[in-house]
Structures are given as structure tokens and as C-alpha cells.
């Protein structure tokens, strides 16, 4: 069961996540309404009972509490029927001693079509996509992987933390944060956008408010 209201075309960064009612292994969910006030990571996988997908679900589950500590929920999805999801969960628990605790959407194809998740040339299989949605239901990050490549869940966890840190402090995040090669765990001050702001930036740097390599490249430690 899937009911979706959405404008034409797949959603873009900054768009509100499309409204949809979906059947999951944890009951019917209304997205994004049921997750208002929380971030959520919706990730699709090609199919149940496949090797790479199994490793991914184990990896997500092992980090589930770390995501929840960031006020973030996980939602899996594929174009498989609900009984297939349930049986696959049982197999993972019986054989790997891992209990999948987050919901998995049983999609009829409508969700995958709306979000652009059908892999070209691979029948009805969904790509390995990741949608990171903030507490205001806005899509902040979209990642797409081919079927052959399993995702790095530590990177997904990192970008959720990085975006939340950016939002809370009005800063930008350097490459590989919090282990940047130049600035370690320090953050970037957004560059000045006019002459007055550039001059003010120099004065504030001179006063020790932050450090600059130049007026357009300034960084600071988080308080």
C-alpha cells in the first residue's frame, strides 16, 4: 500500500520530502508527518535475501542507537512484499543474531518511481539510494550507489552529525570533518559576501575571534 502526493519530477535538495502513506514492517507510516521534529534516513536496497543488502542492514542496525542519539531514525525500503521483508528479518536474526529494529517499507513501485530509485537496465530493482531528511521534513542530502557497491554507514552517520552541527552553529564543514587534514575538527566560517563584511572579517580575526589564512578562508573551534 502506497499513497503519494508529489509534484512532477523527482525531489531535489531543499525540497520537502514527498507526502506518502506506506506499509512497513512496523505498521503503516505517514511520511514525513510521522517523523516531524526528527531527522530520518530513508535508504533503498535492490532486494531482500541478497548478500550486499544483508551486510548493509546489519551495519545499519549496529549503528541504530548512534543515529537515534542524533535524533535520527532509519527507514529501509525495497520493491519487495511485506512477507519477504519479515522473513528476511527472521533469517538475519536466526543466522546472524541481529534483530532489525527499524521499519522497512514494502513498496509497490510508487515510492521508488517518485524518488527516482529504479535502477536503469536492472528491471524493477531499486538502486542503493539514501535520502537524509531534517526535522523540518526538508531533503538535505541525496546519495546514489550502484547495486555492486555497499554503502559506508559511518559516512552516513558522519554527514548527519555534520549537517546538524552546521545548522546549529551557522558554519560550513571542511573535508573529512571532524578529521580534516588542515583544520582537524575546526569548522569553516562562511566567506564574506561584500567588501564591508570582508574588512570586518579581518578585524574580528585580529581580535582573536577566529583564525584566517585569508579573509575568505577562516576557521574556528566549536565552543
53 labelled catalytic: yes
List phi, psi (to 5°) of 54. Answer: -65, -45
First and final CA of the chain: distance in angstroms? Answer: 47
> How far is residue 44's CA from residue 54's CA, in Å, rounded to a whole number?
12
* Nearest alpha carbon to residue 13 among 111, 130, 141, 133: 141
Cell of 34: 510521522
Task: Give the active site residue among 20, 53, 100, 171.
Answer: 53
Q: Which long-range contacts (CB under 8 A, 24 or more apart) does 187-195 make?
A: 187/219, 187/220, 187/221, 187/222, 188/217, 188/218, 188/219, 189/218, 189/219, 189/220, 191/215, 191/216, 191/217, 191/218, 192/216
Count the residues in the chain.
223
Grid cell of 95 as nine digits? 543466522
| C-alpha cell belonging to residue 111 | 515510492
Q: Which helix (H) or strand (E) holds 128?
A: strand 128-133
The catalytic site residues sit at 53
Amino acid at each position: 500500500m502506497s499513497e503519494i502526493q508529489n509534484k512532477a519530477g523527482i525531489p531535489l535538495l531543499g525540497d520537502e520530502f514527498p507526502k506518502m502513506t506506506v506499509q512497513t514492517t512496523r505498521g503503516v507510516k505517514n511520511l514525513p508527518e510521522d517523523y516531524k521534529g526528527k531527522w530520518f534516513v530513508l535508504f533503498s536496497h535492490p532486494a531482500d535475501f541478497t548478500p550486499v543488502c544483508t551486510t548493509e542492514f546489519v551495519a545499519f542496525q549496529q549503528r541504530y542507537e548512534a543515529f537515534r542519539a542524533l535524533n535520527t531514525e532509519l527507514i529501509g525500503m525495497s520493491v519487495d512484499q511485506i512477507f519477504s521483508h519479515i522473513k528476511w528479518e527472521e533469517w538475519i536474526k536466526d543466522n546472524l543474531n541481529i534483530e532489525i529494529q527499524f521499519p522497512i517499507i514494502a513498496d509497490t513501485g510508487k515510492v521508488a518511481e517518485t524518488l527516482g530509485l529504479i535502477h536503469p537496465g536492472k528491471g524493477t530493482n531499486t538502486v542503493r539510494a539514501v535520502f537524509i531528511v531534517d526535522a523540518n521534513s526538508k531533503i538535505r542530502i541525496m546519495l546514489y550507489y550502484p547495486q555492486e557497491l555497499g554503502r559506508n554507514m559511518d559516512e552516513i552517520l558522519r554527514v548527519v552529525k555534520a549537517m546538524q552541527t552546521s545548522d546549529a552553529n551557522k558554519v560550513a564543514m571542511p573535508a573529512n570533518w571532524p578529521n580534516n587534514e588542515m583544520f582537524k575538527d575546526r569548522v569553516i566560517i562562511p566567506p564574506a559576501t561584500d567588501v564591508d563584511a570582508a574588512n570586518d572579517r579581518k578585524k574580528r580575526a585580529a581580535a582573536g575571534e577566529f583564525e584566517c589564512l585569508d579573509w575568505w578562508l577562516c576557521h574556528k573551534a566549536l565552543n
